[in-house]
């Protein structure tokens, strides 16, 4: 007589998917309680924090009169740019060295290393997306400085691709950090280098012509250009290659999952 298969280690796809959902859901709740606790505003800080930071950036840019140099709505420029920064920055930072403090959870057979990464990334996506949507809606309704998105489907698809890229990047960095401690030291300064190069603070059409081909090698620039094209594309000429961005998303996802598998084998050896 065959022995029963432990939960999460066999069964059909539907059973496996049910176990996966429960595991990630439990990890999400644990992460929220660990990070934000039950006191004061608790998990509300998940999207209040990025909202406050984005508002400060938009306020500073407006106070400096940057909106006087072009017809581009500066508040929309700040919201789209800094929200995008927070997405890939926070997700990557949360995945680096994420396994060490959660190593005891891996003693439970249904819990995998990837589940820990997914729980942390979903939490960041939820907070940043909520902040992005709330800011866009509030300013569109109660402020003359920003109009509703010109193409909301393009905005949603660009945000999805940005989240996908950020997930692939975060899994790759998280898995690499388990193999080498240099990742933890290398990535923080790399973030500050990527800030001005990611397209969050400029439009490709506003750069000198010789810089166009150079910055378009950076996939984040394509995501930001597409996001702003959906928001206020009539105010500028967007330059992005959708196939190039999707290729990067797929490539990072495959590389990240491959390195994660190597990391598991390294831990077991």
Residue 2 falls within a domain, yes or no? no
User: For tokens 């997914």, what's the residue?
Assistant: 118
What domain count does the chain have?
Answer: 1
Q: Sorting pLDDT into bands at 50, 70 and 90, what band is 69? A: very low
pLDDT in tens, 120-179: 899 889 888 988 888 888 888 876 667 788 899 999 999 999 999 999 999 999 999 988
Determine, yes or no, domain membership for 5: no
Q: Is residue 109 part of a domain?
A: yes
Q: Is 72 left (phi over 0), alpha (psi -120 to 50) or beta?
A: beta
Task: Give the residue numbers spanning the domain of 23.
Answer: 13-268
Domain assignment present for residue 4? The answer is: no
Exposure string over 11-26, b if 16+ CB within 10 A, otherwise e: eeeeeeeebbeebbeb
Residue 70 confidence (pLDDT) above 60: no
Asked if 266 contacts 179 with a C-beta cutoff of 8 angstroms, the reply is yes
The reply to whether 29 falls in a domain is: yes
Q: What is the C-alpha to C-alpha distance for residues 259 and 89, in angstroms, rounded to an integer?
A: 20
Dump pLDDT digits (tens) for 2-59: 444 444 445 566 777 787 788 888 888 887 777 766 655 556 666 676 677 767 776 7
DSSP 68-131: GSSSS-HHHHHHHHHHHHHHHHHHHHHHTT-SGGGGGGGGSTT--HHHHHHHHHHHHHHHHHHH
7 in a structural domain: no
Note whether residue 198 is domain-resident: yes
CA-wise closest residue to 220 among 251, 243, 194, 238:
194
Average pLDDT in the chain: 82
pLDDT in tens, 80-111: 888 899 899 999 999 998 887 777 777 777 77
Domain for residue 1, yes or no? no
Q: Which residues contact 58 (CB under 8 A, 6 or more apart)?
A: 74, 75, 78, 79, 82
User: What is the per-residue pLDDT for 65?
Assistant: 60
């Amino acid at each position: 007589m065959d022995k029963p298969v432990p939960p999460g280690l066999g069964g059909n796809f539907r059973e496996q998917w049910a176990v996966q959902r429960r595991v990630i859901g439990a990890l999400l709740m644990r992460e929220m309680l660990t990070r934000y606790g039950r006191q004061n505003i608790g998990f509300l800080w998940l999207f209040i924090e990025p909202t406050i930071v984005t508002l400060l950036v938009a306020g500073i840019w407006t106070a400096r009169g940057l909106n006087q140099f072009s017809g581009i709505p500066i508040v929309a420029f700040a919201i789209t740019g800094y929200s995008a920064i927070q997405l890939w920055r926070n997700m990557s930072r949360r995945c680096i060295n994420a396994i060490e403090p959660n190593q005891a959870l891996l003693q439970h057979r249904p819990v995998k290393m990837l589940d820990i990464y997914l729980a942390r990334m979903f939490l960041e996506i939820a907070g940043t997306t909520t902040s992005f949507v709330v800011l866009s809606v509030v300013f569109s309704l109660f402020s003359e400085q920003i109009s509703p998105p010109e193409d909301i489907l393009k905005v949603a698809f660009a945000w999805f691709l940005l989240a996908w890229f950020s997930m692939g990047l975060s899994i790759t960095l998280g898995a690499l950090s388990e193999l080498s401690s240099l990742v933890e030291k290398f990535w923080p300064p790399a973030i500050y280098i990527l800030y001005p190069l990611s397209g969050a603070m400029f439009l490709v059409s506003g750069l000198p012509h010789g810089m166009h081909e150079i910055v378009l090698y950076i996939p984040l620039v394509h995501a930001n250009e597409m996001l702003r094209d959906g928001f206020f594309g009539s105010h500028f000429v967007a330059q992005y290659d959708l196939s190039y961005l999707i290729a990067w998303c797929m490539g990072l996802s495959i590389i990240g999952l491959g390195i994660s598998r190597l990391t598991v084998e390294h831990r077991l050896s």
